Amino acid sequence: MSSEQASTRSDWSDVKRVLVIVAHPDDADFICGGTCIQMAEQGIAVTYMVLTNGDKGNHNPEVTRNQLIAMRKIEQRAAATLCGIQEVLFMGEEDGFLRPKRAIRKRVTREIRRIRPELIICTNPDRYFVGDGYINHPDHRNAGLIAIEAIFPAADNPMFYPDLADEGYHPHKIKYLYVHGHDQADVKIDITTLIDQKIAAILCHDSQFVDPVAAEKRWREMWGEKSEDGTVRYYESFKLMKFG
């Protein structure tokens, strides 16, 4: 997967397993849903890892915390099924207070060693501001930090967590990392033919939308890029990191 190839087409010929590490239920569907649909269609086993339980993701006082946690798991599983995703891991950290602590790093490292993905997708830990009107959620930033600290130095170094090797989870080094929300993105994946499916997956998260019709209209306007021929195309973009 050369940089030239990555910038022009989706070539995952040497990728069999992908792990997506995100903060909340619905994050994966927003940031890489179309990409993951393409991967699944090519026979790649994609796993979503959701670090928090999503228990702050609603403003309805009649919904209890435990009800919301259960609801968001159901929603995420439904969205994943729609996209052909084979496995969803819920790590259960408290929504809104995600931090790169030792315990969660070890748990993420264990899953990297268990799944042994060639490619991981995560969020940019340095992205504080988006446009002129959005402060990036701290969980999004810390999810990226947890992911990259588990990838390096922990996942492929036998000196980290030797007890995991005793459990059968041996060191593993990934080949590629896709970082979402990076200002030097160099992978641009065309998901135009999958935009309806991506939006349908996002809308599986019923608890998150008061007016889904208006939300869909806004997304299509915001995400669409007009081509020279006047057609509108949709993309997902990432910064590519490669590891020898």
Q: What is the residue type of 197?
A: Q
The answer to whether 176 touches 240, Cβ cutoff 8 Å, is: yes
DSSP string, 29-74: HHHHHHHHHHHHHTT-EEEEEEEE--TTS---TTS-HHHHHHHHHH
Encoding tokens for residue 229?
């021929």
**C-alpha to C-alpha distance for 53 and 143, rounded to whole angstroms:** 13
Alpha helices in 84-120 (DSSP H): 102-115
Domains present along the chain, CATH in parentheses: 3-242 (3.40.50.10320)
Helix (H, G, I), strand (E, B) or coil at 109: helix
Task: Report the C-alpha gap between 21 and 207 in whole angstroms.
Answer: 21
Q: What angle do CA 149, 201, 35 make, to 5 degrees?
A: 50
How many CA atoms lie within 13 Å of 38's alpha carbon, on the beta-carbon side?
A: 19
What gap in Å lies between CA 117 and CA 112, rounded to an integer? 7
- Burial degree of 132 (CB within 10 A; 0-12, 13-18, 19+): exposed
Query: Mind listing the pLDDT tens digit for each residue in 117-129?
Result: 999 999 999 999 9
Query: Helices (H), strands (E): how many in the chain?
Result: 8, 11
Q: Which pLDDT belongs to residue 7?
A: 45
End-to-end CA separation in angstroms for the chain:
12
Q: What is the pLDDT of residues 218-230, one digit of tens each?
A: 999 999 999 889 8
Q: Is the dihedral of CA 99, 240, 24, 174 positive or negative?
A: negative
Give pLDDT tens digits along the chain (244 positions).
Answer: 444 443 445 789 999 999 999 999 999 999 999 999 999 999 999 999 999 999 999 888 889 999 999 999 999 999 999 999 989 999 999 999 999 999 999 999 999 999 999 999 999 999 999 999 999 999 999 999 999 999 999 999 999 999 999 999 999 999 999 999 999 999 999 999 999 999 999 999 999 999 999 999 999 999 999 988 989 999 999 999 999 8
Q: What CA–CA distance (Å, rounded) separates 140 from 99?
A: 10
Q: What is the DSSP pairing of strand 176-180 with strand 187-190?
A: unpaired
